[in-house]
Amino acid sequence: MKISIIAIAAAVAPGAIADFWLTYMARDVPGAPKLVGGTNEGAVFTKDQQITCSDMRSTIYSDADDVSGHRIGMRTVPGNIVQPPIYRDPLEVVEFNTGMGKPGHHTIYKDRGYAMFDVDGKKTGQCHLNRSQAFQLKCDDNGDTVYLEGSTMFFCESDLNVVLD
């Protein structure tokens, strides 16, 4: 009985969501050094389509050429860099790896109707291409100015329980 109560509590814990938005975000703090590892531009997971200043501390999974194994980040194919706020287009394959944190390592394929699969080839969700929400925000962070820019990429229906920061 204790195990089922723990499982239920974990499933409804704040910060965990099933369906999610995968959004491209560039974060800049003028005058501050770039974060080690280039974590200022890449994918963020959100529960809402609309990005707000409260999302400025979201973990950004940086652009990478390879996110296999223990490599954390997001890889886009063909990986074309385009003008902000879109940044990457087209999105034919989007692979992300969040490491040990949820949702983990998954790939979204255009040629499979934007279905999402884990590394074992199991379908883990259905994503919908959605580039409709662009954002440019100027946020205050204890006296520092933080600029956020980007756009939505996908809305994904899944039972993965993505953990938000």
Q: Looking at residue 34, what is its pLDDT?
A: 64
Q: Is 13 inside any structural domain? A: no
Query: DSSP letter string over 6-44?
Result: HHHHHHT-TTEESSEEEEEEEEE-TTSPPPTTSTTEEEE
Phi, then psi, of 6 in degrees rounded to 5: -65, -45
Q: Is 1 inside any structural domain? A: no
CA-based nearest residue to 131, from 87, 164, 86, 93: 86
Q: Is 2 inside any structural domain? A: no
Q: Is the pLDDT of residue 8 over 50?
A: no
Q: Is 6 inside any structural domain? A: no
Q: Is the pLDDT of residue 50 over 50?
A: yes
Q: Looking at residue 15, what is its pLDDT?
A: 58
Residue 4: pLDDT band with limits 50, 70, 90: very low
pTM of the model: 0.85
Q: What is the pLDDT of residues 70-125, one digit of tens each?
A: 999 999 999 899 999 999 999 999 999 999 888 999 999 999 999 999 999 999 99
Total structural domains within the chain: 1
Q: Is 159 inside any structural domain? A: yes
Q: Is 3 inside any structural domain? A: no
Q: Is the pLDDT of residue 155 over 60?
A: yes
Q: Is 12 inside any structural domain? A: no
Q: Is 62 inside any structural domain? A: yes
Average of per-residue pLDDT values in the chain: 86
Domain that holds residue 32: 18-163
Percent of the chain with pLDDT over 90: 70
